[in-house]
Structure 1
Amino acid sequence: MSAAIETSPADAPLIEAKGLSKTFGGGFLSRARPVQAVRGIDAGVRRGEALGVVGESGSGKSTLGRLMLGLMPATGGTIRFDGVPVTGASGRDWRQLRRRMQIVFQDPFSSLDPRRRVGPQIADGLLIHGLMDAPRRDARVAELLTQVGLDPSHAGRFPHEFSGGQRQRIGIARALATGPEFLVADEPVSALDVSIQAQVVNLLADLRQRLGLALLFISHDLPVVRHLCDRVLVMYLGRVMEEGPAEEVFSRPRHPYTRALLSATPRLDPKHRTRRILLTGDPPSPSNPPSGCVFRTRCAHAQPRCAETVPELREFGGAARVACVRAEELN
């Protein structure tokens, strides 16, 4: 039996996670300590909105994206897509959801099968879901290649005949084949030459606007996130440190971790350069996170009380929310 679809307000998130958690390892027969990759995160993306997820390596960004797509089971929490539970979905419900959610992977080299021509790879989703007959699939592939700025006649070529940027465009075309409403872009330009990155980012921005896509954009590149995204979510060791409108978070960061990340971003205008905030030491192991605030061991403003309480996300005089017990004192 199909899950009932709940009606939602027009401004409600298309996809929403509540209390989402993911722990790896630590089973009955495992000697390794469990790794808490994502810890109690609330996140949502509205139709046509772009949510940027930033943070250091190991912060849980990619795990969050895969959890929201249902590519791995959550340890705790719930995910709903357009009123339908993603967590625990199976059979017919899951098949319908899969058509509406897709991903663009980080590495365009390994995400394509080198032994198959790109046209059939783009059409895989159409074939799996039985959406079109062969002539219509071919026409759809030609349309998608044109949409991402490639020649439709190149559908018969193999992946090695394309550059890295072209391969990522093919990956985007494949993700768009079934007409998804939600797209996760997991570091989609980090493996590309700097000269090509801007082209792919601008393509994603154009496609989001034209197709009305809800986009979860995962990246280390803060200027790109500021350019592309409406809102931003700052992660550290599996938790959200700050979230809110991108322009507010970038222009007036309130969490010490957000300030440190932004201070490392190069700025060409000498009038807007900020003092570099150096974080001491490496991030703690996710298998042995600090008590209280997970950022406290690297925070210059930490106090004994930071070890006692896990800070909740709260508003402090703006639309952004901050997880810091000293946020009022520091801002």
Structure 2
Amino acid sequence: MSECLIRGEGMSRSFHGGGFFRRGRSIQAVSDVSISLSRGEAVGLVGESGSGKSTIGRLMLGLMPLSGGRILFDGDDLAVLDEKRRGALRRRMQMVFQDPYSSLDPRRTVGSQVEDGLSIHGIVPRGERGARVAELLAQVGLEPHHAARTPHQFSGGQRQRVAIARALATNPDFLVADEPVSALDVSVQAQVMALLADLRSRLGLAMLFISHDLPVVRHLCDRVVVLYLGRVMEEGPVSEVLRAPHHPYTRALLSAAPSLHAESRRERVVLRGEPPSPANPPSGCVFRTRCPHAIEACAAQPPPLEPREAPGHRVACIRHDIG
């Protein structure tokens, strides 16, 4: 793998009370999370709803301010860059959203929306933009004449292809794909996954792939980071973490994931209770209130991420005896 392209170090993000929460109360959405990606590498970010996955994606793109930590892109700290340099970096970072229906403007042609990035960043001269749009649509498996259509004339899978073409228009180095296939029919999910894998390979994209679907992550990613209540429970190479998970939470997620291979099926781990509120997380290990292996010591302090046997495989759990 090549050199590190982007690294979030000790990322934290809190929100203050308002609306449904009592005034003045702080909600810790992400707590001391570090994630790095090399050029051409795909990292999967998995966890239940509310675990902080999408928040981390937005933090790493600079779409949301950090409460703590920093983001380094090509060695530059995003927080200290002036607006000109920050604008230049934005071109190199793009996002594909979960819902292709709401991420595109229904009143505009898809060609004009793919062209936006070319125009805003001045990447291609005006007279050449139509040809570049046609190239981008072809790159994602669509036809040049599709540029004249509006989003309602496409299927869900085709709309997501348009959204991917729009993200690729600025020639990004880093792509955040936030549940990009979860809103699609099962029959087209595999096609979009194959497209993302091909684009990553051909273009050398670093990709943060956010998902709750472990089989998808297994297929597409090199490494995986498992989140629970805004904290990392386990991380490492996909082949190692999904083959021999050490953390009880990772085991529970895997046991609930469908498998086509009988030898890969695991005994179902049923988690007790509901996830605690991020406004009032448990002391110590935040997973302990649902963990089948929790002991009294788990309440004392948050467990550090510690290495296991395989290189790069780290687990936040004091119960080494269940690994």
The verdict on a shared fold, with TM-score over 0.5 as the criterion, is yes
Contact 1:103/1:185, CA 8 A, preserved across alignment: yes
TM-score by length of 1: 0.94
- Equivalent runs, 1:152-301 vs 2, <5 Å: 152-301=144-293
Per the TM alignment, residue 33 of structure 1 is displaced from its structure 2 partner at its CA by: 2.2
Query: 2:93 matched to 1:107?
Result: no
Contact 2:215/2:258, CA 8 A, preserved across alignment: no
Cα distance in 2 between the residues matched to 1:87 and 1:204: 30
Render the CA deviation track for 1:107-139: whole Å, top value 9, x for unaligned.
000000011111010010111112222221111
The code of the aligned residue for 1:82 comes to D
Q: Which runs of 4 or more aligned residues in structure 1 lie more than 6 Å from their structure 2 counterparts after TM superposition?
A: none
Cα distance in 2 between the residues matched to 1:205 and 1:244: 19
Query: Mean alpha-carbon deviation: is it higher for 85-94 or for 128-137?
Result: 85-94
Render the CA deviation track for 1:136-171: whole Å, top value 9, x for unaligned.
111110000000000011101111000100000000
- Equivalent runs, 1:4-19 vs 2, <5 Å: 11-19=2-10
1:44 to 29, 36, 52: 36
Which residue is 1:23 aligned to?
14
Per the TM alignment, residue 30 of structure 1 is displaced from its structure 2 partner at its CA by: 6.7
Percent identity of the aligned residues? 64
The code of the aligned residue for 1:197 comes to Q
- Equivalent runs, 1:127-166 vs 2, <5 Å: 127-166=119-158
When the two chains are superposed, the root-mean-square deviation of aligned CA atoms in Å is 1.4
Which residue is 1:7 aligned to?
none
Q: 3-state DSSP class of the match of 2:13?
A: strand
Per the TM alignment, residue 12 of structure 1 is displaced from its structure 2 partner at its CA by: 3.5
Contact 1:54/1:219, CA 8 A, preserved across alignment: yes
Per the TM alignment, residue 11 of structure 1 is displaced from its structure 2 partner at its CA by: 4.1
Render the CA deviation track for 1:156-189: whole Å, top value 9, x for unaligned.
1111000100000000000000100000000000
Which residue is 1:329 aligned to?
321
Per the TM alignment, residue 249 of structure 1 is displaced from its structure 2 partner at its CA by: 0.3
Cα distance in 1 between the residues matched to 2:212 and 2:289: 22
Which residue is 1:97 aligned to?
89
The code of the aligned residue for 1:24 comes to F
The code of the aligned residue for 2:219 comes to H
Cα distance in 1 between the residues matched to 2:45 and 2:272: 23
Per the TM alignment, residue 32 of structure 1 is displaced from its structure 2 partner at its CA by: 5.4
**Where do 5+ consecutive residues of structure 1 fail to align?**
1-9
The code of the aligned residue for 2:222 comes to D
Cα distance in 2 between the residues matched to 1:272 and 1:191: 26
Cα distance in 2 between the residues matched to 1:131 and 1:317: 47
Render the CA deviation track for 1:12-33: whole Å, top value 9, x for unaligned.
4200011100001248x97152
- Equivalent runs, 1:79-90 vs 2, <5 Å: 79-90=71-82
Render the CA deviation track for 1:26-63: whole Å, top value 9, x for unaligned.
48x97152211100001101000000000000000000
Contact 2:133/2:147, CA 8 A, preserved across alignment: yes
Cα distance in 2 between the residues matched to 1:62 and 1:250: 22
Cα distance in 2 between the residues matched to 1:16 and 1:161: 39
Contact 1:104/1:186, CA 8 A, preserved across alignment: yes
1:58 to 25, 47, 50: 50
Contact 1:74/1:87, CA 8 A, preserved across alignment: no
Give the count of matched residue pairs. Answer: 320
Q: 3-state DSSP class of the match of 1:123?
A: helix
The code of the aligned residue for 1:166 comes to Q
Contact 2:225/2:232, CA 8 A, preserved across alignment: yes
Which residue is 2:116 aligned to?
124
The code of the aligned residue for 2:306 comes to R
The code of the aligned residue for 1:16 comes to R
Cα distance in 1 between the residues matched to 2:291 and 2:16: 29
